[in-house]
Amino acid sequence: MKYFLIISLLLSIFSCSSEENTRSADPEDDTGTPLISSAIPIYNQAYQENFEADKMSTILDNAKNGYVLLDPFQEAVTDHVAAIQANGNQVGAYISIGTGETYRDDYEQIKPYLVATPWGEWPDEFFVKETTTGVLEVMKARIDKIAAWGFDWVEFDNMDWAFDDEARTTYKLTASKSEAIAYYQELCAYVHSKGMKCMAKNRVEDAADFDGVLYESYTDEKNWWDQSGAQSFLDAGKLVIINHYNEKSCGEVYSEYKGIYNDNLSFICEDAILKKYVHYNE
């Protein structure tokens, strides 16, 4: 009995010591409170650079408590919004606010407000030429549909289209930079009026009312955006996503970005070996 009591006491001490070691390994703030990362899994059905985007079957089977970006104007996509949300996900809807796409159903409505020359990188897209007449109504009609389909977010692609001086000259853009800012601010306010959140894309300047931001990152062009702007969104507890393309060492890049920012950063990576997106924080 004496030996049994001694062994029990030793096991109890070892167990407490192990628990203390485990707790001390967790990150803590200055008061000793454990820090919990707010990074979430990211899935992207809407676009990719080199390989295939996330398939709907992958999203339905695997996405849990994350942010899932869909192209709501592709066939049958909106049928799955409720099922994706049932797994704890926030669902975003992709729209391009800086271009008109020839393959969209509302192309004829937006065409009068577009430049005449197609975008060199994307020949099926034309930049928005001016923002002060009917283009706002076309975009708001899209947002009305997205709200009716039950989305949580609207992600604004190409919101930086009017800020490149070379593009302004090449494509003869007439919208001023201040008009472009007012344009995406008004669209975000409209999204909010519909009970949804705004996801900025690649810039947060003059976008303080946006609820999150997604940056596109490349192997040879990482952290190219305004770092202080991204950090300000993280500091405010907003969702900050890096969508990194064509990478053989996704884990290393993720670690690099966490070193620049913090563990609250959300990350998705286009794996050049697997030839598909890989997802973190699952």
pTM of the model: 0.86
pLDDT 10s digits, 175-231: 999 999 999 999 999 999 999 999 999 999 999 999 999 999 999 999 999 999 999
Average pLDDT (144-165) is: 96
Burial (0-12, 13-18, 19+ Cβ within 10 Å), 252: exposed
For residue 18, give Cα distances in angstroms to 11, 21, 25, 33, 212: 10, 5, 11, 19, 39
What is the per-residue pLDDT for 37?
A: 66
Which of 70, 243, 97 has the alpha carbon at shortest distance from 153? 70
What is the per-residue pLDDT for 179?
A: 96
What is the per-residue pLDDT for 135?
A: 96
Is the pLDDT reported for residue 268 higher than 80? yes
Is the pLDDT reported for residue 8 higher than 70? no
Q: Which helix (H) or strand (E) holds 7?
A: helix 2-25
What is the per-residue pLDDT for 36?
A: 57
What single letter denotes the amino acid at residue 277? Y
Is the pLDDT reported for residue 28 higher than 80? no
- Residue 185 CA to residue 99 CA, distance in Å, equals 17
Secondary structure letter of residue 238 according to DSSP: -
Is the pLDDT reported for residue 24 higher than 90? no
- Tokens of residue 213, six digits: 């931001």
What is the per-residue pLDDT for 6?
A: 37
Is the pLDDT reported for residue 11 higher than 60? no
Average pLDDT (38-56) is: 95
Please compute, for residue 80, the number of CA atoms within 13 A of its CA located in the half-sphere on the CB side: 25
Residue 187 · residue 136 · CB < 8 Å: yes
pLDDT 10s digits, 60-119: 999 999 999 999 999 999 999 999 999 999 999 999 999 999 999 999 999 999 999 999
| Long-range contacts of 225-230, Cβ-Cβ distance < 8 Å, separation of 24 or more | 227/260, 229/203, 229/204, 229/205, 230/204, 230/261
Tell me how long the chain is: 282
What is the per-residue pLDDT for 38?
A: 87
- Tokens of residue 225, six digits: 């955006």
What single letter denotes the amino acid at residue 228? S
